[in-house]
Structure 1
Amino acid sequence: MSTATTTSGSRVRDGVGSSTRRPDARLKVKGDFAYSSDLQADGMVWGATLRSPHPSARIVRIDVTPALRLPGVVAVLTHEDVPGQPRYGMKVADQPVLAADVVRYQGEPVALVAADHPETARRALALIDVAYEELPALTDPEEALRDTGLLVHAERVDGKQGNVVRHVRIRHGDPDRARAEAEVVVSGYYEVGMQDQAFLGPESGLAIPAEDGGVDMYVSTQWLHDDQHQMCAALGLPPEKVRLTLSGVGGAFGGREDVSVQIHAALLALHTGRPVKMSYDREESFFGHVHRHPARMWFEHGATRDGRIVFVKAKLLFDGGAYTSTSQIVIANGSYFAAGAYEVPHAEIDGYSVFTNNPPCGAMRGFGAVQSCYGVESNLDKLARELGMDPVELRLRNAMTTGTVLPTGQAVDGPAPAAELLRRLRDRPLPPAPEGTFGLPGGLNNTSRGEGVRRGVGYAIGVKAIGFSGGVDDRSVARVRLALAGGEPVAEVHTAAAECGQGIVTVQAQIVRTELGVERVVVLPADTQVGDAGSSSASRITWMSGGAVQGACKALRERLDALGDAPLAELLDRHGPLEEEYEYAHRRTHPIDDERGQGDAHIAFAFAAHRAVVDVDTELGLVKVVELATAQDVGKAMNPLAVEGQIEGGSAQGLGLAVMEELRVVNGRVRNPSFTDYLIPTIADMPHVPIDLLELPHPDSPYGLNGVGEPPTLSSTPAIANALRAATGLELPKVPVRPEDIVQTERG
């Protein structure tokens, strides 16, 4: 690891800038960590969900009587038992808590069961008699875009008509005139398959009815307060009676932003008066959360003969599935960055998200920018080939810098080291050729002898906004308390920030140690008894919750300074415990306008680049990613080891999307809802991932930090795809690239 700036030492051990050990590290390594699926309560019963087998159907009849007769069953609920609002949703409340008259995707919840044993609950589900009348399913997003008359929602709750969730229109400069003046024009069509977050801990939670008529919910999630808001509406209860506490989260990556078990478990708990545990198995998990939007994209680049990009035209089509979730923002984010990390004087970008009867899609790491980065970086390599230029040189010639004006009209006002990241990767020595068959594609099984193996090298760079964009008033609250325990000062930190594996618990403690000089720090469980922290998404939580914790600490420091210069323990002994709460907010952003898509929509930007080295057996279609080098600006490495872990993880998910991960949906039906058939990278698939960190402080953030978790997922996939194209000479327009894509095209 190399840095552009030197990380300063902390004033106390394990402060900001230290590779501090996570408090849950040993427990997780040993298998002793308590996840939400491990929760238990006296008198607990098990909840289960009946789901539609059809992607589109009318519900003719539901008879729950046979299930209620089964010994051990304590409740069976349908849509008639929802006491509050019948629909929920993060941005648009259009998803039924339980389907009433129609189902719009395979896996839609229809009924709930509570029983004294999970097997009894599963047997009861099979006894519920549901009669369906199958309806035509709209599963082609292009047909949905054309609005041919087949509607997923005959009446939309947002008052709009048709299947288009949102059309994002961005116009910058005069792209038609620029096209006429361009000396070289290339175009390409690119596809991205539906990727699953594939977190290892499926959805689970425990709902406990309370004496006040409310409910206490212990659940793995990314946003406690938004869950609370949606639960209150469905349960017909005020916020003070719906209390959520974060339980152990086994990964998230966007898949836990939408609610899953929360409302259903609470409904059953309030109905039965008993604690209810719900825990999906792996197959149900594939139906129980949103996925990455599959995309179809058309790109056109125009340039001068010496490689200056003149214009970009792009059309993005994202399949949002049956309900809105966050599709309007995902397509906006994909459209914002469809011109890539480059100076582009003229741009015409149209982004569409549409409803279909496919599974709902929403947030996943990278949030729309993954798809558009794959498209723009793939087409840029095509432009380099047409120009006869080195792909890195083409990128360097057009790399974005501080002050670059985006297609949305906003100028980049923070560090923009796109060229520096690319140079660092270009200058890194290439890995040696493999020795023996073990290092070849399929080498673990001695599949290839190397006769048809070719090596390819590919580059890509991505840019993404950090934090909520488009006018969201983003805020985060933290409470810090200082007291004596055993004669020593102890600090308690309380926020609602969801620890999803990214390390926010550790960072909060590091900030307190740095700001207050206190060694002993206790981070209290995240819950809704403190102010909203916002979502653990958009690579924002360290910035926002870290800023709130820092603000509370600074307020405490001011109070301590006013009390005198005595040792901290003496001040606390004399004046008692001290507590401060602080709400952090950054500058306001603004939505883009509907006509030309102009507006200062973003608070900050982050950059990452990858160089992929691949070996491809062109006769067998086997691929081995030999190395996936990355360079990324992180602003300030709050916990360098954790930062590296985030970059490695994001690169692994990008590798998965490039060569193996796709949820296969045929005519609206999921064909591979298991880890046997939905492949994710294992340690055997992971290449060497050398990491080059830059620390260029952002002027507006706490400690100069920047978001880290999402940028690696942008550039890793197209870097691998570009390397595969370099090795094979094939177009390879879709990811994931499968063996038959290489072999059949090669032979054809």
Structure 2
Amino acid sequence: MARNGLPTATTRTTGSAGGGVGESVPRPDGRLKVTGEFAYSSDLWHEDMLWGRTLRSPVAHAEILALDTTRALAVPGVHAVLTHEDLPTAVRHYGLEIPDTPVLARDRVRHHGEPLALVAADHPETARRAADLIEIVHRELPLVTDESSALAPDAPLLHPGRTDPHAAHVPHPNVVHRQPVRRGDVAAARRRADVIVRGEYVFGMQDQAFLGPESGLAVPAEDGGVDLHVATQWLHADRRQIAPVLGLPEELVRMTLAGVGGAFGGREDLSMQIHASLLALRTGRPVKMVYDRAESFFGHVHRHPARLRYEHGATREGRLTHVSARIVLDGGAYASSSPAVVGNAASLAVGPYVVDHVDVEALALYTNNPPCGAMRGFGAVQACFAYEAQMDRLGAELGLHPVELRRRNAMSEGSTLPTGQRVDSPAPVAELLRRVRERPLPPARQWETSEGVDVRQLPGGPSNSTHGEGVVRGVGYAVGFKNVGYSEGFDDHSTARVRLEATGGEPVATVHTAMAEVGQGGVTVHTQIARTELGVSRVILAPADTRVGSAGSTSASRQTYVTGGAVRNACALVRERVLELGRRRFGAAEPAWLTEELLLADGKVVTAGGEVLAGLGDVLGGEAVEVERAWRHRPTEPFDPHTGQGNGHVQYAFAAHRAVVEVDTELGLVKVVELACAQDVGKAVNPLSVTGQVQGGTAQGLGIAVMEEIVVDPATARVRNPSFTDYLIPTLLDTPPIPVDLLELADPHAPYGLRGAGEAPTLSSTPAIVAAIRDATGLALRRVPVRPEHIAPG
């Protein structure tokens, strides 16, 4: 408390308004979503709207010689057909970090499915038929599909004449970004090592596989601007990229968040936003675009596939002497967020372990494969799979239990990372491992019941593939850590507007941010913070749009930390102003107000001793108090481009998993029996929601471990499985019990001591599952996803 009786920005009230910070609060949209009543962006409707359609390239790399739109324009009901030549400005590229992505391809396509032309028609089927009538004349070009073809001396340059900030630090123009991390003397440490293990690992391309394909509605406005309603992760970054292409100032591109059916990084990049806006401005009619599932696979970025080469050394006592690694990420045709993914992969490449001697190189390539960018845990997920496999191999060489080897090398608060940054908050790696190891194992042979064999509990499940013959159990462990928030000097901030007023004598708070609610739970967190800080029960969450300052992206596990911090600080300033208003109005009549500290609780002004002085409605007197405030966490700095040294990250999240699997070694089928997780979340603002986030991230890690992979034909660079028929994701039948043990060790630098929670469990669940399969089968298994043919004999 401040001496004058007004709470400071860091003070929490003692209010008891229900549903505050630390309570489990149900999602207001939860019932609507599970009953199918929730309005997603694909449900948007305008009375006189047209439908948009995108024509996409059938080949991965080609010179475009001609696009003939004559037949498409002749189709009744078609209102516009646009190609690159019809774009209204000289700005014809966009991109999150590097503006290298064409709005529509002009003379060259660089990946299968790249947009070539747009159609607007009065019916979606008419638009589809018209797009199919556009004639493409092209000449195929040599493909760049992997490291050898990308870096060959005579390799085709996918982006010649690059001028982006990373171009000066890469060894070849087909390298998007390169980041080394060097510390100590690896050569000398290698000579001192008693045991050295080396391995090469392959990580497949994963899709975000969100529920709702890309969709939105663009409405032309009378002032020449456009109102865009869209499912996205970052309203203001979208607007920053859209406006120059349309030739409009940003204030004439008004964006409102529509219902989002999941994201996981796949909505950070633009998809249909510019295309729908172009068609709306050209036709003067609202234009709706909705991708089908196949087009969605081409309409957003994916998780980078990777090839990782590691060397770990250790003493006989199990102390790590050194780690060297080379991580090659396939960024696909355009940059997207590849530079940030490289930075994460390099800086987190060693894992949550203390190692004095490190030599890491991470890079991302330009290729003719599908563009890759953000996906839950980006960069850190790929590295975790490899370094955890290495720790298991090292433990086996030393005769140490995998948990014991990790415990001996676990980082803790005060440890120094390979980047030179000191960990200045709790890092309970050993404790998380202890908790998952000591949890009782699920009963063996659960498929044997008094009524016979329950095939649902066996590998293969209801397909009735096996009755237990050749089924063996394995147990595996893994731990990972992930940075929270944007890093490397990025101005990571958020903005919140909070309004407090009395309606019918009842105090009501309204919270307005541009945060994209994509399922992470901000719809409860921000109202919980307002209840806690303002001591009122009724809180309204205004729709997210660009009428308020940026909230940044809903990614990097940052929204509860950063936008939650902005809401908290805005509430604190509102509280101060309300209490000052109360002091001015009632101070002369109530001398105690001049000496006692004042709080807001249960919609009243009270003294620190609990005496009720006035209702908030009386204090406000018909007025409203409104504050908009931006909030920034402590600054970060770029990593040195040659050594990787620097305080590049804000915060770290830690999670450990123990996986129990049963494997039919004859058929190659895997049943994940349990995935126990222990995670430090600093402060569980909404324990129910946090547990759901941990379980959801764990399930996505299960997907990449044994099921999910976008298959790209190496001969043509074409995607072979763009559908949920052929791209498999875990269902309820595949997802095991996921018991969650939450630790709440506060980070003193964060609001309420919280940590970002959504990404960390995605890291460790994958290597834990694969470790359990190795334990069951004795196979090396250095690639994910693990397929039946990797397990069963040929």
Pairwise TM-score range, normalised by the shorter structure: over 0.9
Match of residue 524 from structure 1 = 542
* 1:45 maps to which of 43, 46, 50: 50
Residue 111 (structure 1) aligns with: 117
Asked which structure has the greater CA Rg, the reply is 2
2:554 to 536, 549, 552: 536
CA–CA separation in structure 2 for the residues paired with 1:122 and 1:595: 50
Q: Which has the larger displacement, 161-170 or 398-407?
A: 161-170
Q: Does 2:96 align with 1:94?
A: no
Query: 4+ residue stretches of structure 1 with deviation over 4 A?
Result: none
Identify which of 692, 712, 723 aligns with 1:645.
Answer: 692
CA distance in 1, matches of 2:530, 2:620: 20
Q: Partner residue of 1:328?
A: 339
How far is the alpha carbon of 1:443 from its aligned partner? 3.5
1:24 aligns with 2:32: no
CA offsets per residue over residues 457-476 of structure 1, 9 Å max, x none? 00000011100110112111
Q: Does 1:205 align with 2:211?
A: no
Aligned partners of 1:12, 1:240: CA distance in 2, in Å? Answer: 38
SS at match of 2:792: helix
Within 5 Å, give how 1:540-619 maps onto structure 2. 540-564=558-582, 565=605, 566-571=613-618, 573-574=620-621, 576-619=623-666
**Partner residue of 1:3?**
none
Is 2:538 the counterpart of 1:489?
A: no
Counterpart residue number, 1:4: none
Structure-2 separation of matches of 1:570 and 1:688: 48
**CA spacing shift, 1:477–1:675, aligned 2, 3 Å:** same
> Which residue is 2:752 aligned to?
703
Which residue pairs with 1:151 in the alignment? Answer: 157
Question: Which residue is 2:371 aligned to?
Answer: 360
Answering whether residue 722 of structure 2 is matched by residue 673 of structure 1, we say yes
**In the alignment, which residue of structure 2 is the partner of 1:737?**
786
Superposed displacement of residue 147, structure 1: 4.8
Deviation, 1:65, is 1.3
| Structure-2 separation of matches of 1:262 and 1:443 | 42
**Does the 8 Å CA contact 2:668/2:788 hold for their aligned counterparts?**
yes
In the alignment, structure 1 residue 78 sits paired with structure 2 residue 83: yes
Quote the Cα distance in structure 2 between the aligned partners of 1:473 and 1:281: 36
1:151 deviation in Å?
2.0
> Which residue number corresponds to residue 257 of structure 2?
246
In 2, Cα distance between equivalents of 1:68 and 1:613: 59
Show the counterpart of 1:435.
447
2:182 matched to which residue of 1?
Answer: 171
Q: Deviations over 1:490-540 (max 9, x none)?
A: 111110010000110111111111111111111000000000100000000
Q: How far did 1:38 drift?
A: 0.2
- Aligned-partner SS, 1:719: helix
Question: What is the rounded CA distance, in whole Å, between the counterparts of 1:402 and 1:147 in structure 2?
Answer: 46
How far off is 1:10 after superposition? 7.0
Closer/same/farther in 2, CA of residues 576 and 130 from structure 1, 3 Å limit: same
Q: CA deviation at 1:743?
A: 1.1
State the 1:575 CA deviation.
5.4
Measure how far apart 1:694 and its partner are: 0.2
Q: Counterparts of 1:147 and 1:19 in 2: how far apart (Å)?
A: 59
CA contact (8 A) 1:141 1:355 kept: no
CA contact (8 A) 2:502 2:617 kept: no
AA of the residue aligned to 2:27: R
SS across alignment from 1:643: helix
Matched, 1:276 2:294: no
Q: Deviations over 1:557-612 (max 9, x none)?
A: 11111122553433455251110111111111001111211000011111000000
SS, match of residue 662 in structure 2: strand
After TM superposition, the score normalised by the length of structure 1 is 0.97
CA contact (8 A) 2:502 2:622 kept: no
- How far off is 1:158 after superposition? 2.3
Q: Return the letter of the residue paired with 2:196.
A: V
Output the CA distance in 2 between the equivalents of 1:134 and 1:157. 26
Tell me the SS of whatever aligns to 1:666. coil
Q: State the TM-score, normalizing by the size of structure 2.
A: 0.92
Between the aligned partners of 2:460 and 2:34, the Cα distance in structure 1 is 29
For each residue in 1:287-329, what CA deviation from the matched residue of structure 2 results, as whole angstroms up to 9, or x when unmatched?
A: 0000000000001000001100010001000000000001011
1:457 counterpart (475, 498, 508): 475
Check if 1:629 corresponds to 2:676: yes
Alpha carbons 1:18, 1:638 under 8 Å: kept: yes
Paired position in structure 2 for 1:655? 702
User: 1:445 Cα deviation (Å)?
Assistant: 2.6
The one-letter code matched in structure 2 to 1:298 is: R
Cα RMSD for the two superposed structures:
1.4
* Amino acid corresponding to residue 737 of structure 2 in structure 1: H
**Equivalent residue for 1:682, pick from 731, 734, 742:** 731
CA change 1:686–1:435 in 2 (3 A) is same
Give secondary structure in 1 for the equivalent of 2:675: strand
Q: 1:62 to 1:182 in 2, by over 3 A?
A: same
* 1:5 matched residue in structure 2: none
**1:253-308: CA deviations, max 9, x gaps?**
00000000100000000000000000000000000000000000001000001100
| Alignment correspondent of 2:585 | none
Is the 2:268–2:374 contact (alpha carbons within 8 Å) kept by the matching residues of 1? yes
Q: Secondary structure at the match of 1:376?
A: helix
Q: Measured at CA, do residues 291 and 10 of structure 1 come closer, stay the same or move farther in structure 2, by a change above 3 Å?
A: farther
Equivalents in 1 of 2:761, 2:154: separation in Å?
39
Partners of 1:259 and 1:626 lie apart in 2 by: 39
Match of 2:64 among 59, 63, 66: 59
Select between 188-197 and 562-571 the one with higher mean Cα deviation.
Answer: 562-571
Name the CA distance, whole Å, in 1 between partners of 2:675 and 2:436. Answer: 10
- Counterpart in 2 of 1:477? 495
Superposition map of 1:722-733 within 5 A? 722-733=771-782
Q: Offset of 1:697 from its aligned partner?
A: 0.7
Distance 2:436 2:14 in 1: 28
Amino acid at match of 1:559: R
The answer on 1:294 being equivalent to 2:300 is: no
Q: Is the 8 A contact 2:674 2:738 kept in 1?
A: yes
Contact kept? 1:478, 1:548, Cα under 8 Å: yes
1:155: Cα distance to partner?
A: 3.1
With 159-168 and 25-34 compared, the bigger mean Cα shift is at 159-168
CA–CA distance in structure 2, aligned partners of residues 342 and 427 of structure 1: 21
SS in 1 for 2:671: strand
Unpaired runs of at least 5, structure 1: 1-7
Residues 310 and 10 of structure 1: CA distance in aligned 2, closer, same or farther (over 3 Å):
farther
Q: Say whether residues 1:186 and 2:197 are aligned partners.
A: yes
> Per the alignment, in what secondary structure is the counterpart of residue 669 of structure 1?
coil
Deviates more, 1:286-295 or 1:17-26: 17-26
Partner Cα separation in structure 2 for residue 374 and residue 76 of structure 1: 46
Q: What amino acid is aligned across from residue 42 of structure 1 in structure 2?
A: E
Match of 2:380?
369
Tell me the distance in 2 between the aligned counterparts of 1:346 and 1:10: 51
Aligned amino acid, residue 410 of structure 2: A
Contact 1:478 1:549 in 2 (8 A): yes
Asked if the contact 1:320/1:362 (under 8 Å) is kept, the reply is yes
- Residues 145 and 316 of structure 1, relative CA distance in 2, 3 Å threshold: farther
Note closer, same or farther for the CA distance 1:157–1:98 as it changes in structure 2 (3 Å cut): farther
Partner-residue secondary structure (3-state), 2:621 = helix
CA pair 397-199 structure 1, distance change in 2 beyond 3 A? same
Task: For residues 631-660 of structure 1, give each alpha carbon's deviation from its aligned partner in whole angstroms, at most 9, with x where no partner exists.
Answer: 000000000000010011000000000000
Aligned match for 1:132, one of 122, 133, 138 = 138
Residues 15, 534 of structure 2: 8 Å contact kept: no
**Contact 1:9 1:17 (8 Å CA) reproduced:** no
In structure 1, what residue type is equivalent to 2:340? I
